[in-house]
Amino acid sequence: MSTPQLNDRSFGRITGLMHEAVGLSFTRSKKALVSARLTNRVQQLGLTGFEDYADLLEGADDGGEFQMAVDLLTTNETYFFREPAHFALLQAELQRTRPQKLAVWSAASSFGDEAYSTAMLLADLQAQGTLGADWSILGTDISERVLQSAVQGIYPAERLREVSPQRLKRYCLRGEAESEGFVQVRESLRERVRFGQLNLCAPIDNLGPFDVIFLRNVLIYFDPPTKSAVVDRVLSQLRPGGLLFLGTAEGRVPCSTPLTVLAPSAYRKGNER
């Protein structure tokens, strides 16, 4: 079977649907990326080309293929304690304020690396008496597939390369035999994190309020107006004075919610009048 070629018409149909349905934005410069991410899928389905794939995505009964396309187009490399300066800032903030309750939202949680990294940090602070026992973490993502993986909490050991040996011992189990090379987050920590599917481009009602929100490495998929709308929508769930972390490569996103810069891509929500 010859390799299907993504022409401009098919690219426009597929990316237009992605933007309309879930806010994903792919400029012409991303055409090669879209082709690379979807070509194998078109071949697996036995379709003649991308026009047929666009027909499938637009159909009333796509058999779950639209969700599959979203998964393929948005899955990022991720690992534990990515962008460590954010975790250091969060630790310093909690050591300063010593809260008894804390609610954290990992708003683009992908496979759960970020949520479980945060859980390790909070569990350590609780053990030190810096943080009360009433803390919780919510991880959300648009991809059902990555969320199912996150609940299991099983990762290639390489993904935990930034986790200290002490934390690995406290919070993880190393695989043996056929599971060698993999690590599972201990159940005691997995119980502190819950996951759910959520579209950041749709209305968000009564999800918070949260004290800390991570919204990292997802805004790259949105055009400027959608980015601003998503940030304001997410910030509506953050308490006044709460912390927001964006991806350091994404820069500050214009939004109508007052923010104070604490560090690169780290902000405090302004107090409401």
Per-residue pLDDT of 105-117, as tens digits, reads 999 999 999 999 9
Q: Are residues 148 and 40 in the same domain?
A: no
The pLDDT tens digits for 35-52 are: 999 999 999 999 999 999
Read off the pLDDT of residues 147-171 as tens digits, 9 standing for 90 and up.
Answer: 999 999 999 999 999 999 999 999 9
Annotated catalytic residue: which of 37, 194, 239, 268? 37
Question: Looking at the structure, do residues 15 and 106 belong to the same domain, yes or no?
Answer: no
Sign of the torsion angle spanned by Cα atoms 135, 140, 144, 145: negative
Q: Which of 48, 74, 100 is the last residue of a domain?
A: 74
Following DSSP, what letter does each residue of 3-69 receive, concatenated?
Answer: PP---HHHHHHHHHHHHHHH-----GGGHHHHHHHHHHHHHHTT-SSHHHHHHHHHSS--TTHHHHH
Q: Which of 113, 141, 167, 192 is catalytic?
A: 141
- The answer to whether residue 141 is catalytic is yes
Instruction: Report the CATH number at residue 54.
Output: 1.10.155.10
Indicate if 61 belongs to the active site. no
Same domain as 235, residue 110: yes
The backbone region for 46, taken as left when phi is positive above 0, alpha when psi lies in -120 to 50, beta otherwise, is left
- Indicate whether 145 and 225 sit together in one domain: yes
Q: Where is 268: in which H helix or E strand?
A: strand 266-269
Residue where one domain finishes, among candidates 74, 97, 125: 74
Residue-number span of the structural domain to which 48 is assigned: 8-74
Cis peptide before 209 (omega within 30 of 0): yes
Domain count, the chain: 2
